Copies of this chain bind each other. A is one copy, B any other.
Amino acid sequence: MNDLAHLPSGLADRLRAIVGDAGLVTDAHAREPFETDWRGQYHGKAALVVKPASTAEVAAVVKALSDARVAIVPQGGNTSMCGGATPDESGTQVIVNLSRMNKVRAVDAANNTMTVEAGCVLAELQRVAAGADRLFPLSLGAEGSCEIGGNLSTNAGGTGVLRYGNTRELVLGLEVVLPDGRVWNGLRGLRKDNTGYDLKHLFVGAEGTLGIITAAVLKLFPRPRAMATAMAAIDGPEQAVTLLGKLREACGDRITAFEYLPRICVDLVLKHIPNTRDPLSEPYPAYVLVELSDNADAATANATLEEALGSAVEEGLVRDAALASSDAQRLALWGLRENISEAQKQDGVSIKHDVAVPVSRVPELYALAGKALAEKYPDIRIVAFGHVGDGNIHYNCSKSERQAAEEFFRQAADVNHIVYDVVQSLGGSISAEHGLGQLKRDEIKRYKDPLELELMRNIKKTLDPHGIMNPGKVL
């Protein structure tokens, strides 16, 4: 309990009066899971964890903390990839965890929207949408525990972006508690609204540094009736980009997933993950996992994808392909993609890069970064895979078997710069979908236009003049 000493006198009582005992986590041991990120890479220390259960409570909590100039760390499911929701080590910051705000306020099927609170778990929202015969297309690895407020604050990406866009594109309206505790009610469910500056896009992706998102109006989509899924063997990233173009020409936006896996990814999964098997009868240099979603029946969907891939085989672009003919086969193909991170982890430590370039420049990314790394670190193993359809590659580097982990990590800053410099030269981004958080807060200064950083700082100062919202993140 003694960390409360870090709080101005009377503040804990004021907070308790707002959220009650159920909304306060004061015990040091109970606080721990909130103070550490899920990968165990960031360990902070908070004065207190507050868990408000309504927008009014969030507003009152923020007002109290703002009055006392106490720094606030907004937190959802705590699944940040870059320490975005972890407090610093001072013990003076207060975590405001939104998990108790988990109501679906409304589902409007005719408007294709649902209004949800920040603490709703993503997978639960997918189910709610399905229950209304609609699709909420945001889908990502952490969906079983991440919360929509965090998805919104980090503009989460995932596997549905090719067709449906990032979280930013899935939101029509927001409710936000501002850094002074006032509530901006922008919960509009409108497809068109041109009445001034679009404030919601400031808060989406701001990683909690401009306010706390408490609720949102999210877009829903017609639920696809059929999926067709295939693994296509190709020669490399250049063929992947060409194939993507051909498939979109043939099938339009029914192509809803297009994931690239070089052979090393398949090898790692086969080696470390039980019950997996090579997708084709012999190994190939690389693969794309393609999925087509349609409102027609399954047979038509399969035929469309089969025909498109067949024509690519005839052209010599695709060397072989396997079409899933059952749900089990579909899941097996996706398993090869989704288990890469886990397999890579079991195989040893790695230096990870979540980068994006224009889709047309993905082959150059592979060629240039591969060459630059090989010259300096001939033993490094490049395990680079991902959302080619979005130009978003998880350009991971695993250590060689003979190298010690410590030695490998000493190279991390240099490896980062080699990769990021290539990304920069291709007009890319050093954080495609994970955000900046603490992890890339300083690195971004090397790559972003100082004028853009200045504009960001000016906006931060305008909305949060006392700098209490998630300090030490992003900027």
Partner of A111 from the list B109, B360, B429, B433 (CB cut-off 8 Å) is: B360
The interface-forming segment of A179-187, A281-289, A398-406 is: A179-187
In the complex, which residue of chain B has the Cβ closest to the Cβ of A204? B198
Contact flags A252-273 to B (C-beta < 8 A → 1, else 0): 1110000000000000000000
Taking the complex as formed, is A358 at the interface, i.e. its CB lies under 8 A from any CB of chain B? yes
Report yes or no: B436 in contact with A184, Cβ–Cβ below 8 A.
no
Q: Does A202 contact B (CB under 8 A)?
A: yes
Chain A: interface residue total (CB-CB under 8 A): 95
Residues of B within 8 A of A440 (CB): 195
Name the residue on B nearest A223 (C-beta).
B249
In the bound complex, what is the Cα–Cα distance between A444 and B197 (angstroms)? 13
Give which listed residue, B190, B254, B359, contacts A429 with CB less than 8 A. B190
Of A33-41, A325-333, A451-459, the one touching chain B: A451-459
Interface code A151-168, partner B: CB below 8 Å = 1, 0 otherwise? 000110100011001101
Nearest Cβ distance between residue A245 and chain B, in whole angstroms? 6
Q: Is the CB of B205 within 8 A of A427?
A: no
Rounded to whole Å, the gap between the CB of A243 and the closest CB of chain B is: 11
User: Would you call A392 and B191 a contact (CB within 8 A)?
Assistant: yes
Which B residues are CB-close (under 8 A) to A433?
192, 194
Minimum CB distance partner of A242 in chain B: B110
CB distance from A303 to the nearest CB of B (A): 11
When distances are taken between beta carbons in the complex, the residues of chain B under 8 Å from A12 are none
Assuming the contacts A195-B430, A455-B199, asked whether A356 and B190 have C-beta atoms less than 8 A apart, the reply is yes
| Contact assessment for A358 and B427 in the assembled complex, using a CB-CB cutoff below 8 Å | no
B448 adjacent to A192 (CB under 8 Å) = no
Q: Which residue of B lies closest to A475 (CB)?
A: B196
Interface string of A224-261 (1 = CB under 8 A from B): 10000000000000000110110011111110000000
Interface set, chain A 461-475, CB cutoff 8 A to B: 461-463, 474-475
- Interface flag for A188 (CB, 8 Å): yes
Q: Is there an interface contact between A154 and B222, defined as CB atoms closer than 8 Å?
A: no
**A201 is an interface residue with CB less than 8 A from chain B:** yes
* A459-B456 in contact (CB<8A): no
Taken together as a complex, chains A and B put the C-alpha atoms of A453 and B444 apart, in Å, by 32
A195 is contacted by which of B357, B448, B460 (Cβ under 8 Å)? B448
- A411 contact set on B, CB distance < 8 A: none
A224 to B253, CA, bound (A): 10
Within 8 A of B (CB), among A195-222: 195-199, 201-202, 204-206, 210, 221-222
**A249 to B429, Cβ gap below 8 A?**
no
**List of B residues within 8 angstroms of A221 by Cβ:** 253
The reply on A432 being an interface residue by CB < 8 A is yes
Q: Does A23 contact B (CB under 8 A)?
A: no
Expressed in whole angstroms, the minimum distance between the Cβ of A342 and any Cβ of chain B is: 22
Distance A248 CA – B225 CA, assembled complex (angstroms): 12
Of the candidates B194, B241, B389, the one whose C-beta lies within 8 Å of that of A432 is: B194
CA distance A133 to B185 in the complex (A): 42
A192: nearest chain-B partner, CB-CB: B432
A87 close to B (CB within 8 Å) = no
Instruction: Please name the residue on chain B nearest to A219 by beta carbon.
Output: B165
**A295 closest partner in B (C-beta):** B252
Q: Is the CB of A455 within 8 A of B201?
A: no
In the complex, 25 of the A-B residue pairs with CB atoms within 8 angstroms, ordered by the A residue number, are: A108-B360, A110-B359, A111-B391, A154-B194, A155-B198, A166-B191, A189-B427, A191-B390, A191-B391, A191-B392, A192-B432, A194-B205, A194-B432, A194-B433, A195-B430, A195-B440, A195-B447, A197-B206, A197-B455, A198-B202, A199-B452, A222-B249, A250-B295, A252-B294, A459-B459
* Extra A-B contacts (10), CB below 8 Å, given A155-B198, A254-B295: A111-B358, A169-B169, A184-B452, A190-B356, A190-B391, A192-B356, A195-B435, A196-B436, A197-B205, A252-B295
